């Protein structure tokens, strides 16, 4: 999620009780990488939410998780720090109500498969992989009808079960995404938020259309380059931060606006035959931005909403949706796994520009500085070198 997004996408949804940690299975049920030691007796370094308050602690002797028969144990190389991790770091109201103390945090990563469970067929030790962090049992209505990204029983890596700010992480085989060799590690580490951007852009349909992006945090910036790559006729963006507006221009936006300034909605209309933008991608969660974005959307336009307001908002449903004949799409997570295939195709096309967004790399032992860089706004996307 974006750092300007106050609450992560799945946060508002109550999660049914279920096993929060990977099952424990005998060591004999796993195949190890050549030279790999059995995982049971080993320990690892991990960033743990050690108490019900701010910060994280680096635990130098956390037991390495043991994969169940259908699980994969991955040695993490790089992990991205996300807006969700910031909430957990700062221990805000959402985090206090959702995060179990003692959990290993983090959900965006790239790594190498270390061991696989006895029933795993598609993934083998030594493969370079990332993973979808939304885990479902594939039993509910949405999972069984092609919409697993909004499954009722979703468990999130690093939120509901141990995550990837650790030398090793366990995920079910279904969630593992083998990486094309043409996708470098620093990009593979941020496929989770890139997937949010791709899902939003593709759901709205931007080809040959004018697109307005309100909010250019990490995902909004990614949406600029994705919309460009997906054939948008023009890409317009707003953000309060001049540095982020400049970065949006660098990534291919045609024009950027300070939403606190006067007259920008008229400028959007002037660029769109007087109609307004065909497509609104709302990435900020700010009620003012949502109101302004819908004002700048043309009659009959499409709005895709990813940004999450921190509390219920007042919204002019009559003028913004009903009389406007607008189509409104709620966006949560990434489609499993249509979005992942789209991401791979876009990345391999060479049309995405992500290097300016991944601004910092820090060692995991230097995690406090990584969080500071992100929270201060000095960094955009910060990735940690885990192992
Ligand atoms: Zn994330």
Is residue 140 situated within a structural domain? Answer: yes
Q: How far apart are the first and last CA of the chain?
A: 24
Is residue 335 situated within a structural domain? Answer: no
Q: What is the DSSP letter of 11?
A: G
Assign residue 140 the CATH number of its domain.
3.90.180.10
Helix axes 338-348, 191-204, angle to 10 degrees: 100
Distance between alpha carbon 169 and the CA centroid of its chain, in Å?
A: 17
Candidates 135, 125, 124, 127; CA nearest to 174 is 135
User: Which pLDDT belongs to residue 31?
Assistant: 55
Query: Do 17 and 33 share a domain, yes or no?
Result: yes
Block residue for tokens 């030691």: 37
Query: Do 96 and 209 share a domain, yes or no?
Result: no
Is residue 347 situated within a structural domain? Answer: no
Is residue 337 situated within a structural domain? Answer: no
User: Which pLDDT belongs to residue 29?
Assistant: 43
User: Which pLDDT belongs to residue 91?
Assistant: 96
Domain span including residue 312: 196-330
Query: Do 31 and 158 share a domain, yes or no?
Result: yes
Query: Do 138 and 266 share a domain, yes or no?
Result: no
Give me the catalytic one of 5, 24, 51, 87.
Answer: 87
User: Which pLDDT belongs to residue 310?
Assistant: 85
Query: Do 177 and 126 share a domain, yes or no?
Result: yes
Cα(82) to ligand 1 centroid in Å equals 4
Query: Do 168 and 266 share a domain, yes or no?
Result: no
Cα(196) to ligand 1 centroid in Å equals 9
Assign residue 317 the CATH number of its domain.
3.40.50.720
pLDDT tens-place string over residues 197-232: 999 999 999 999 999 999 999 999 999 999 999 999
CA distances from 41 to 66, 73, 163, 185 (A): 10, 14, 19, 29
Write down the pTM of the prediction.
0.90
> What is the tally of structural domains in the chain?
2
Q: Pick out the chain residues at pLDDT < 70.
A: 1-40
Q: Decide: 3 and 87 in contact? Cβ < 8 Å.
A: no
Q: Decide: 290 and 267 in contact? Cβ < 8 Å.
A: no
Judge whether 339 counts as a catalytic residue: no
Give me the catalytic one of 5, 84, 216, 302.
Answer: 84
Query: Do 104 and 153 share a domain, yes or no?
Result: yes
User: Which pLDDT belongs to residue 35?
Assistant: 45
Query: Do 137 and 22 share a domain, yes or no?
Result: yes
Cα(109) to ligand 1 centroid in Å equals 10
User: Which pLDDT belongs to residue 311?
Assistant: 87
Query: Do 58 and 163 share a domain, yes or no?
Result: yes
Query: Do 309 and 182 share a domain, yes or no?
Result: no
Cα(289) to ligand 1 centroid in Å equals 22
Is residue 261 situated within a structural domain? Answer: yes
Is residue 346 situated within a structural domain? Answer: no
Average pLDDT along the chain: 91
Cα(241) to ligand 1 centroid in Å equals 21
Residue 19 burial (10 A CB sphere; 0-12, 13-18, 19+): exposed
| Listed residues 312, 330, 348: the one ending a domain | 330
Query: Do 143 and 269 share a domain, yes or no?
Result: no
Judge whether 180 counts as a catalytic residue: no
Is residue 173 situated within a structural domain? Answer: yes
Helix axes 83-90, 367-376, angle to 10 degrees: 110
Q: Decide: 367 and 66 in contact? Cβ < 8 Å.
A: no
Q: How far apart are CA 148 and CA 158, in angstroms?
A: 19
Query: Do 68 and 163 share a domain, yes or no?
Result: yes
Is residue 351 situated within a structural domain? Answer: no
């Amino acid at each position: 999620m974006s750092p300007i997004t106050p609450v992560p996408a799945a946060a508002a949804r109550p999660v049914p009780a279920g096993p929060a940690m990977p099952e424990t299975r005998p060591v004999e049920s796993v195949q190890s990488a050549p030279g790999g030691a059995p995982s049971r007796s080993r320990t690892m370094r991990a960033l743990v939410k050690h108490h019900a308050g701010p910060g994280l602690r680096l635990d130098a002797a956390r037991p390495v998780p043991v994969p169940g028969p259908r699980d994969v144990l991955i040695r993490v190389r790089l992990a991205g720090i996300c807006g969700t991790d910031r909430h957990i770091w700062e221990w805000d109201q959402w985090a206090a109500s959702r995060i179990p103390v003692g959990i290993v945090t983090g959900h965006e990563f790239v790594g190498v498969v270390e061991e696989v469970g006895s029933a795993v067929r598609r993934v083998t030790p030594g493969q370079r992989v990332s993973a979808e962090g939304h885990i479902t049992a594939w039993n509910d209505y949405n999972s069984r009808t092609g919409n697993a990204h909004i499954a009722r029983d979703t468990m999130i890596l690093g939120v509901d079960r141990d995550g990837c700010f650790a030398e090793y992480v366990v995920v079910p085989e279904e969630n593992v995404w083998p990486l094309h060799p043409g996708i470098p590690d620093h990009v593979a580490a941020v496929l989770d938020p890139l997937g949010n951007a791709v899902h939003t852009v593709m759901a709205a349909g931007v080809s040959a259309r004018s697109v307005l992006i309100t909010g250019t945090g990490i995902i909004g910036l990614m949406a600029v380059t994705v919309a460009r790559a997906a054939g948008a006729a023009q890409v317009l963006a707003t953000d309060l931060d001049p540095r982020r507006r400049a970065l949006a221009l660098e990534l291919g936006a045609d024009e950027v606006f300070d939403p606190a300034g006067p007259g920008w909605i008229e400028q959007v209309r002037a660029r769109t035959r007087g109609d307004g933008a065909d497509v609104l991608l709302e990435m900020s969660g700010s009620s003012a931005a949502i109101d302004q974005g819908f004002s700048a959307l043309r009659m009959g336009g499409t709005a895709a909403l990813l940004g999450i307001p921190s509390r219920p908002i007042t919204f002019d449903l009559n003028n913004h949706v009903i009389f406007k004949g607008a189509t409104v799409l709620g966006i949560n997570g990434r489609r499993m796994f249509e979005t992942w295939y789209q991401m791979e195709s876009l990345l391999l096309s060479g049309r995405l520009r992500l290097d300016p967004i991944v601004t910092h790399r820090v060692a995991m032992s230097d995690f406090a500085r990584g969080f500071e860089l992100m929270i201060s706004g000095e960094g955009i996307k910060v990735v940690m070198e885990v192992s």
